[in-house]
Structure 1
């Protein structure tokens, strides 16, 4: 590489003068070329990381983009809840990740210190973070029968949630339009509660969900939990 083609930062120039000064004094001899080379390599790695962050476009939605969801809970039996689960089906074909086959989007996960779920575009590096406050990530993500809505819920196991989180459970609703990638996934409603945890959720119809809830603590055998079952229309306040 020709010298005129090299781009050297002010930090690197300062480092060169420091090394030159260091070598003129009575210190052990250091190979300046090696130090400069290592600095250039590190600088190159940093630029590569910055480019990757720019290329891997990540979208997440602020709470301000959602309307508040109002749940009017009507209690139902366990049998009715299980019947809703059994009857649930979608008008679209689902892929292995339980999203719309042929939509150009797929579900991906990342589990390190916290478990994260994304919707990603197959032909780009763009992805959207599915919202969840909890380290364990989302509990369930389910398309409506028409595949025009997507409900997401997350929950914490017990009443000591205040030691870790602001709320005990949360629900998010998205509108879904296919053919335009992530632009077709738009925030609609959200809901937070301090009163109960979610064990399961399903769709009853296009405008109604059914919930399996509890307000005890999940410790040891789950048989200790007293579940109650409800359904509610989905509407904003």
Structure 2
């Protein structure tokens, strides 16, 4: 009898493990801070020490495993800035202040580019593909880039709407939970929504034309430049005389 067990594709399993690893790299220091602060009778100094130590331990483990540490470095810098801010003010809620300011800055940037009809993702798309402002002449592409910019504006807007009231009411534990929930898991949901909006904003032909560029745009990578004309000719089979 044929084996009917279905195994998940290796690539899918690898992606899931990668997301889990990123969640640990970035989220563990914040989890450590929230737990220690809650169960140490609000000892800010101890919570900050544990959070920074957790980030350092994750970095060491990744180095031993010879895995990329870009996320660890980014998370460590973020925790370090937040810890410095809170240690200077003596207020635990100020651990989350740099993140709130960063989200407010992004929201302002998205809003300005949308109001001026030069959406941020349009400018990024033009820069990555080196087509610059050509997307503004393409109705479908212009609409798609505007909508995806709205998606990311909504992302930071939701973060602000949740975290700013908690910050103003000194709800440190709730801020910790919100920081974790609105971090990588929420960003993954935003990426899914962005792709859904992009796909729904374009025809099949247009999607096939630009989807690879969108993938590079959302990942922050550079598309492979087209082969020079000389190389293309060299690849063509020699014609008979």
TM-score for the superposition, normalised by structure 1: 0.21
**Structure ranking higher in strand proportion:** 1
Which structure would you say has the larger Rg?
1
More helix by share: 2
TM-score computed with the length of structure 2 as normaliser: 0.21
